[in-house]
Chains A and B, each alone.
Chain A
């Protein structure tokens, strides 16, 4: 308990202000975010975020694991879109190895990443509406999220910590009935988004609560390092999927929703439109899914199929070697950035030529976006803090790592 006495506190400089502590157990801080608010009446004079309550030292742990053992750790960073994290990490290592990924695996990755974006945005929408006092939206959102979790379970055996993407491809060929389940979901999802919009978009209370709140200009957003829907809602038209395409995104047609307003409402509108666009991308990936292998042709890196292991001596040897001593990755460093539901997710991986990474750094979008919170809230009302937190869609798991 000794360290508690060292927890940062704000000293109120003037007599008319007071300091209010918010979190880390506050349900509307989406995890364990602690905010120190210096307030003058209802107005916020200064805001200082205090993070680190969920720090687990994942980056340090990665250095003690083989490259393939890091994949399950990446799930636990941003637990609302584990496959996007998997994708970013495996793409970084594939870049280090210079591995070519077969088209079928790439399209499957795109499809699942977009489904993850949908399920992540559904959690955002449900909890954001809950914070704002609209209880029922949460239940609608989690109804669809449940369908998606079942789809992830089908394909990977896990609902949340999927670890489905592997270095060199996918863990397994998707099971029978998987594509039908995705198709069923995608066919009905547009109506579901209409349903959420029916509940919220035209609702006077919702509009009043969101419009003009927590405003941020494009210049501020760029200077503070904000990315993702939060940046696009400030009018900056930038999306890594379109502008620096990875994993075959150049083959898909989709729009990047932007809005010039820069308030909570604009972020809401952008994310709702992203739900529809993600459905479009997933649909295109499903319809145009190429045939072929789901793993790269690299026996020293990719685990062999079960069948091969039982019939081929070499495959068994490679399996044994990969599992017991990993695979060496040529020395070098890469920075792989992808568009996660929250913004630019980047993995900086340094290899020293051995089977364990020398350094794995995660550039998590929430971490940079959180810096914008003070800018959004200072000079505004306490009641709008919760709206602002909800609108930047933070995940404390990836902030603290």
Chain B
């Protein structure tokens, strides 16, 4: 059960198609990469995420948007980590793009204008985490009633009992 250590050195990972494509496109957009448990994560600067996803898609590399979700690392800052799972039908592999957001400025560009699949996923994160997506055509709560207070999937929101 000895886990192989994660590779976090960008130099060692630059031959991976997703990493090389993003590095060739814009070196400054990439904050780091991690290869852990056979899965590749690329940390992207917040202002470049829409364009990074769009690049991977238009280059025909990662043509399919699989999933978008968020994790709250409260009380650590930046507390939110968005995880975009992209799938390549050609290379038969997933890649995860990650964006870190701080608690007092949880805003990121929406992917929906370039990738309609992320519409519901972004609304869900807005609803349950309170992360706002700029440029989303219909950013309203999706699971909870419109007048709900708070965002239940945040770590500082209690699991049971009254708020």
A61 to B160 Cα, complex, angstroms:
9
Q: A52 is contacted by which of B2, B39, B142 (Cβ under 8 Å)? A: B142
User: Are A333 and B145 also in contact (CB < 8 A) when A243-B92, A363-B66 are?
Assistant: no
User: Are A55 and B143 also in contact (CB < 8 A) when A348-B69, A371-B117 are?
Assistant: yes
A131 contacts partner chain B, Cβ-Cβ < 8 Å: no
Instruction: List which A23-70 residues lie within 8 A (CB) of chain B.
Output: 51-52, 55, 57, 59-61, 63-64
B140 contacts partner chain A, Cβ-Cβ < 8 Å: yes
Q: Nearest Cβ in chain A — how far from B124, in angstroms?
A: 8
Query: Are A222 and B64 in touch, CB under 8 angstroms?
Result: yes
> Who on chain A is nearest to B83 by CB?
A348
B39 / chain A contacts, CB cutoff of 8 Å: 333-335
A361 contacts partner chain B, Cβ-Cβ < 8 Å: yes
Q: Interface on B for A, CB 8 Å cutoff?
A: 1-4, 6, 36-39, 41, 63-67, 69, 71-73, 83, 85, 87, 89, 92-94, 96, 115-121, 128, 140-148, 152-153, 155, 157, 159-160
User: Are A348 and B85 also in contact (CB < 8 A) when A6-B146, A371-B120 are?
Assistant: yes
A344 / chain B contacts, CB cutoff of 8 Å: 66, 87
Query: Are B67 and A346 in touch, CB under 8 angstroms?
Result: yes
> Who on chain A is nearest to B6 by CB?
A332
B72 / chain A contacts, CB cutoff of 8 Å: 359
Besides A335-B67, A348-B83, 13 other A-B contacts (C-beta < 8 A): A2-B147, A51-B142, A52-B142, A55-B143, A63-B155, A64-B159, A98-B1, A225-B66, A225-B117, A298-B1, A348-B67, A363-B67, A368-B117
B155 / chain A contacts, CB cutoff of 8 Å: 63
A52 / chain B contacts, CB cutoff of 8 Å: 141-145
B4 / chain A contacts, CB cutoff of 8 Å: 98
User: Are A59 and B116 also in contact (CB < 8 A) when A51-B142, A332-B37 are?
Assistant: no
Q: B66 is contacted by which of A97, A346, A401 (Cβ under 8 Å)? A: A346
A223 contacts partner chain B, Cβ-Cβ < 8 Å: yes
A96 contacts partner chain B, Cβ-Cβ < 8 Å: yes
A99 / chain B contacts, CB cutoff of 8 Å: 1
Which of B66, B73, B140, B155 is the most central at the interface, judged by chain A CB atoms within 10 Å of its CB?
A: B66
A346 to B1 Cα, complex, angstroms:
24
Q: Interface on A for B, CB 8 Å cutoff?
A: 2-3, 6-8, 51-52, 55, 57, 59-61, 63-64, 95-99, 222-225, 236, 238, 243-244, 298, 330, 332-335, 337, 344, 346, 348, 350, 358-359, 361, 363, 367-368, 370-371, 400-401
Which of A6, A52, A370 is the most central at the interface, judged by chain B CB atoms within 10 Å of its CB?
A: A52
Query: Are A59 and B120 in touch, CB under 8 angstroms?
Result: no
A367 to B152 Cα, complex, angstroms:
19
Q: A96 is contacted by which of B37, B141, B148 (Cβ under 8 Å)? A: B37
A332 / chain B contacts, CB cutoff of 8 Å: 6, 36-37
Query: Are B65 and A225 in touch, CB under 8 angstroms?
Result: yes
A59 to B128 Cα, complex, angstroms:
10
A-B contact pairs, 29 of them (CB 8 A): A2-B147, A7-B145, A8-B146, A51-B143, A52-B142, A52-B143, A52-B144, A52-B145, A60-B159, A61-B159, A99-B1, A223-B116, A223-B117, A225-B65, A225-B117, A332-B6, A332-B36, A333-B71, A335-B67, A335-B83, A346-B67, A346-B85, A348-B67, A348-B85, A358-B71, A361-B67, A361-B71, A368-B120, A371-B120
Q: A3 is contacted by which of B87, B89, B93, B145 (Cβ under 8 Å)? A: B145
Q: B71 is contacted by which of A64, A350, A363, A400 (Cβ under 8 Å)? A: A350
Q: Nearest Cβ in chain B — how far from A208, in angstroms?
A: 31
Q: B145 is contacted by which of A6, A61, A335 (Cβ under 8 Å)? A: A6
Query: Are B64 and A400 in touch, CB under 8 angstroms?
Result: no
A61 / chain B contacts, CB cutoff of 8 Å: 159
A238 / chain B contacts, CB cutoff of 8 Å: 89
Q: Nearest Cβ in chain A — how far from B88, in angstroms?
A: 10
Counting from the closest, the 3 A-B pairs by CB-CB distance are A225-B117, A3-B145, A6-B146
Q: Nearest Cβ in chain B — how far from A183, in angstroms?
A: 34
A212 to B67 Cα, complex, angstroms:
30
A346 to B86 Cα, complex, angstroms:
12
A368 / chain B contacts, CB cutoff of 8 Å: 117, 120-121
Query: Are A98 and B140 in touch, CB under 8 angstroms?
Result: no
> Who on chain A is nearest to B64 by CB?
A222
> Who on chain B is nearest to A237 by CB?
B89
A59 to B159 Cα, complex, angstroms:
10
